[in-house]
Amino acid sequence: MTTKKLRCMVCGRLFHDGQGVKIVAGGKELYFHSKTCALKFFKSMVLYIDREELEKSVSATLKEFENRLKEVEERSRKRIEDML
């Protein structure tokens, strides 16, 4: 049984389907053999995004992660209160 081989879009390394990182963005499937290659790709991609759109995206993403952290802190606080 052979598995499909994929090529990393950043370093060109071949890897088996099911390994590495696959991301669907902009209507395209992006394949990377490691998270390091994925990060390199996205760091480079950010340079091509319109500044105003990038600022909106950064703000929305920061808000999302801040909300997640608040929820985690609140759950942790509730657990501690329940233990007392």
Instruction: With a cut of 70, say whether residue 24 has pLDDT above it.
Output: yes
* Residue 31 near residue 20, CB atoms below 8 Å: yes
Tokens found for residue 79: 């657990």
The CATH class, in words, for 1-48 is: mainly beta
Tokens found for residue 70: 């608040």
Integer-rounded Cα radius of gyration of the chain: 19
Q: Cα(33)–Cα(56) distance, rounded to whole angstroms?
A: 30
Domain extent listing, the chain = 1-48, 50-84
At 1, the pLDDT band (50, 70, 90 cuts) reads: low
- Pinpoint the alpha helices (H) of the chain: 35-46, 51-83
Looking at the chain, how many residues does it have? 84
For residue range 29-57, list pLDDT tens digits in order.
999 999 999 999 999 999 999 999 999 99
* Residue 37 near residue 8, CB atoms below 8 Å: yes
